[in-house]
Amino acid sequence: MLLEASGYMVVTCGNAQEAIEKFQTTNIDVVLSDINMPEFSGIELAGKIHEMNSEVPVILMTAYAEVDIAVDAIHKGAFDFITKPYKPEYIIGSVGKAVRFREMILFEKNYKQKLEEEVSLDASHLKKAEQEMQKLSLAVQGTSDWVLITDRTGSIEYVNRAAEEISGFGKEEIIGQKPSIFRSGKHDAAFFKELWDTILSGRTYRTIMTNRRKNGELFEIYHTITPLKDGKGGITHFVAISKDLTKSDSLRTGLITLLITTV
């Protein structure tokens, strides 16, 4: 099988209900499904999967390249939408991107937990708290992951060394600029509207984005953008913790499980 030959562990199901049952009892990383199935459609399956675990990407396949179907699929939580003819390289590419997305979500969870542990403060030990904050500052500055902080309007106030190295821009070139300094032209206005609508509502935004380095080279990066709030709940800053996907070894044999549903 194509995906197994590419190093993925594959679980197959004969219908959508069986897929739901497998999903509930098996550790699934990516779901690949036909749209037209008995019982309920692949779009409905995507919605049910999204309700159970919104962090698992769902890729839908169909013979009909209709815009309204694609839009409905994305609204129901689908990660990608593939139409016939199914080219092997496109399927592998779509699954690979979904795998990277899944891995980056898990990475972001672990990273956030680590940061929370680092900054866990005990009010009765102020000196220890100061030392922990210093350690955290050194960790952020020394990490290989991109860390960038902006004010509420998007003006960049902090950037770590990794962001400088990944982008090719120096700190003095970045501070005071907007993140559009890295814009590649690969994303439309609707993409950025969704981004801003999400973070201004106080929610974390995660996405795989194509950025541009100072030398003009394009690169993919997984962004997790989190709002910071003051004591009254007002948003004051945004923190982006990101990973350069061009350096990520995403296709590790045996570590990724795909759930494939067909009729």
Chain segment 56-112, per-residue pLDDT in tens: 888 888 776 556 676 777 777 778 878 777 788 888 888 888 888 888 787 777 777
Which amino acid appears at position 252 of this protein? R
Q: Which two tokens stand for residue 220?
A: 């993919």
Instruction: For the chain, give the mean pLDDT.
Output: 80
> What average pLDDT score do residues 185-214 get?
93
Q: Does the pLDDT at position 149 exceed 60?
A: yes
The burial of 78, by beta-carbon neighbours within 10 Å (0-12 exposed, 13-18 middle, 19 or more buried), is given as buried
Element (H, E) at 58: strand 58-62
Q: Specify whether the CB–CB gap between 195 and 207 falls below 8 A.
A: yes
Quick one: how far is CA 40 from the chain centroid?
A: 28
**How many Å apart are CA 115 and CA 35, to the nearest integer?**
40
- In 3D space, the residue among 182, 228, 225 whose CA is nearest the CA of residue 206 turns out to be 225
Which amino acid appears at position 85 of this protein? P
| Greater model confidence, 240 or 118 | 240
Which amino acid appears at position 95 of this protein? V
Q: Does the pLDDT at position 23 exceed 70?
A: yes
Axis-axis angle for helices 126-142, 88-118 (nearest 10): 160
Q: Does the pLDDT at position 155 exceed 90?
A: yes
For the chain, give every residue range classified as CATH 3.30.450.20: 136-247
- In 3D space, the residue among 59, 75, 76 whose CA is nearest the CA of residue 258 turns out to be 59
In the chain, % helix, strand, coil (3-state, to 5) comes to 45, 25, 35
Tell me which of 3.30.420.10, 3.30.450.20, 3.40.50.720, 3.10.20.30 is the CATH number of domain 136-247: 3.30.450.20
Strand order in the sheet with 257-261: 9-13, 257-261, 30-34, 58-62, 80-83
For the chain, give every residue range classified as CATH 3.40.50.2300: 2-103+252-261
For domain 2-103+252-261, the CATH superfamily is: Response regulator (3.40.50.2300)
| Angle value at C-alpha 109, between 104 and 113, nearest 5 degrees | 145
**How many Å apart are CA 155 and CA 180, to the nearest integer?**
10
- In the block, residue with structure tokens 């801003």: 196
Q: How many residues can be counted in the chain?
A: 263
Strands 30-34 and 9-13, bridge-based pairing: unpaired
Range of weakest confidence among 23-37, 75-89, 159-173, 221-235: 75-89
Bridge partners (DSSP) of residue 120 are: none
First to last CA, the chain: 17
Instruction: Please tell me the pTM assigned to this model.
Output: 0.51
Which amino acid appears at position 236 of this protein? T
pLDDT, residue 253, reads 35
